[in-house]
A and B are shown apart, each in its own frame.
Chain A
Amino acid sequence: MKAEEYYKGYLVNPELLAKDPHLSKGCETCHKGDKSGETKEQAHEGMVKRPSDNLKTCGQCHGKIAAAYGKSLHYTTIGQRQGVMARFSKAELKIFDKRVFEQSCRSCHASCGGCHVKSPPVSGISLGLIQGHKFVRKDEGKTCAFCHGGRVYPEYVGEYGGATDVHYQKGMMCLDCHKKREFHGDGKKYLTKQAVKDRPACTNCHKTINSKTLLTKKAHSVHRGKVSCYGCHSGGQYRNCYDCHEGTGAKAEPGFILGKNPRNTKEVTTLRVIPTVRNSFEKVGIRMEKFDALPNYWNSPVHNIRKRTDRTRSCDSCHTDRTGFLTWETLLKGGAKANERLIHTPKPITR
């Protein structure tokens, strides 16, 4: 979007006023404000920018969905807290909850309107109304892509110059794998996305591997349970973020890292550097007494999947060259002690 077209994101399509039942009760029903105000300031006095932040607004008609959504991870954002809390002492966690989680992390939660009406704001910037204030079912490019535009979405569509994900190439979008129930929630309060039942998995579609060659069949059977699908089928480099919370600005770099899955060390998978560093929360008085308890790499379901990669073409890529594998030399400098247990050295194949 060009800067001179930014205002278009605030233009309401007048045709919708008569057509869409959501708009029939008048703007002020949801947005409050003063509809007879003559200036922008007067009209916006007391206005509610994001009425669906209050789930009761949509819940008046969509009660079941709103009740379930109130417990979903997109709304609670509790996953962000879970991902870092093991680094804190009890006292530090209290400070984090009050000064970081509620004031920063929670501000990122998605409201109903953030997906169905207006592109969600990131750092105060939004792409505006999705389709002139129409209540849309989905528009991933303007919603998912905006919040997940730092890593996952550009990776998926190949905007980093890397390999476009084969699923995107075949015409699939976010909601083809991530089902509606995953966003709206199933009524249970999950603490992490890993705990969500029915979350996407390659094996939901690829139940059987229709391998034509003996080598492919063997590769899948030998590596099952030991290497994740991403480990072999990631198309190459993906984005890793460094030092996001140091107060000096984020540094994003492409990289491809293989190592043990911190959540299941029996499996080798793609790892992504996470931005938390030792002084991330220093400004609010958190030293992270237990910083070393968690690694600086997490297993990542990277979104640049290809059928054929260097690793599917040749066993040597891992078993001889060890391309991309985390080593003592490539470990993050000043990183957590927990990083060390993610190093995996593939054994050579005896032929």
Chain B
Amino acid sequence: MKTNRLVSFFLVLFLLPAWAWAAAVNQCISCHTDDQKMKSLVKPPAIGGEGEG
């Protein structure tokens, strides 16, 4: 029982930072939810021609 607790403690100790790191580096979400960053990265294309249909 004591061993199990010890294993769990170390698992949490090692895995928590790994999970936090993985979450922190999801660049898709960090950029695509940041208004200012998207404003600087997305440029509107040139518009021309007629619509279809």
Residues on A facing B (Cβ under 8 Å):
3-4, 6-14, 17, 26-28, 31, 33, 35-38, 40, 43, 108, 122-125, 146-153, 241, 244, 249-250, 252
Contacts and interface: CB of A to CB of B under 8 A. Distances in A.
B27 interface: yes
A8 B37 CA distance: 11
B27 A252 contact: no
Contact of B53 (A7, A13, A28, A151): A151
Contacts, number: 81
Given A6-B42, A43-B27, A12 B32 contact: yes
Contacts of A37: 27
A40 B49 contact: no
Given A40-B41, A125-B45, A250 B31 contact: no
Contact of A10 (B38, B48, B49, B51): B38
A151 B48 CA distance: 16
A10 B40 CA distance: 12
Contact of A36 (B27, B32, B38, B53): B27
B29 interface: yes
B38 A7 contact: yes
Contact of B33 (A11, A40, A43, A252): A11
Contacts of A11: 32-33, 35, 38
Contacts of B27: 35-38, 43
B42 A149 contact: no
B28 interface: yes
Contact of B28 (A13, A27, A124, A252): A27
Nearest to B39: A7
B17 to A, nearest CB: 16
14 contacts: A10-B32, A10-B38, A12-B29, A27-B32, A33-B28, A38-B27, A40-B31, A108-B52, A122-B52, A123-B48, A150-B53, A151-B51, A151-B53, A249-B49
Contact of A35 (B28, B44, B49, B50): B28
A28 B50 contact: no
A147 B49 contact: no
A150 B52 contact: yes
Contacts of A108: 52
A306 B52 CA distance: 24
B44 A3 contact: yes
Contacts of B15: none
Given A10-B38, A11-B32, A35 B25 contact: yes
Given A6-B43, A9-B42, A148-B51, 16 more contacts: A3-B44, A10-B32, A10-B42, A14-B29, A17-B29, A26-B28, A31-B28, A123-B49, A124-B45, A125-B45, A148-B52, A149-B53, A150-B50, A151-B51, A249-B49, A250-B49
